[in-house]
């Protein structure tokens, strides 16, 4: 992975710790950066899990602005090196994370957990991996994209519960 992306991740975790304090449960990077295969124009896809987040998306994004400002110098350095990183955060509370989201499917394979002192995210991902194994699920690659075959032996009327 390009060293500039690694530097951004280090700065990002520290900025999240300062901003969210004890409310911060987990930080993970996923997508191409999480897989360790970023391109020059890769977004930094993030999952931020924290207690006490505002109820709606836009206030959560506004709250994150302090973190973005803290990592701005690292983003600028990466741009000076010819990269075009942009932060793309998703915000969840621990309760929302426990209810599940399709985002977690890909994270079972390509997330890199950066902060998770109590195992909040690791536990959810481990349980989902176990469930996917029970179902025989697999991520099927076609060219540069993929889809999930959640239950290869699916029969009409089967109910697939993941979370």
Query: Is residue 27 scored above 90 in pLDDT?
Result: yes
Predicted pLDDT at 121: 97
In the predicted structure, residue 2 carries a pLDDT above the cut 80: no
Q: Which pLDDT value is given to residue 94?
A: 97
Bridge-based pairing of strands 24-30 and 44-50 is: antiparallel
Give the pLDDT score at 38: 81
> What are the start-end ranges of the E strands in the chain?
24-30, 44-50, 87-92, 112-115, 138-142, 145-149
pTM: 0.90
| HSE value, Cβ hemisphere, 13 Å, CA-based, for 65 | 6
């Amino acid at each position: 992975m390009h060293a500039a992306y690694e530097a951004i991740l280090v700065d990002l975790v520290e900025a999240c710790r300062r901003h969210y304090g004890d409310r911060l449960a987990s930080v993970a990077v996923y997508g191409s950066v999480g897989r360790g295969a970023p391109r020059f124009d890769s977004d930094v896809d993030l999952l931020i899990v924290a207690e006490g987040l505002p109820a709606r998306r836009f206030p959560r994004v506004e709250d994150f602005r302090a973190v973005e400002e803290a990592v701005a110098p690292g983003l600028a350095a990466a741009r000076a090196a010819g990269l075009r990183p942009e932060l793309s955060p998703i915000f969840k509370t621990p309760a929302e994370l426990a209810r599940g989201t399709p985002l977690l499917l890909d994270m079972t394979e390509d997330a890199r957990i950066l902060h998770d002192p109590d195992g909040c995210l690791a536990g959810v991902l481990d349980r989902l991996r176990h469930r996917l194994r029970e179902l025989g699920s697999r991520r099927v690659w076609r060219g540069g994209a993929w889809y999930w075959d959640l239950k290869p032996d699916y029969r009409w009327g089967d109910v697939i519960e993941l979370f």
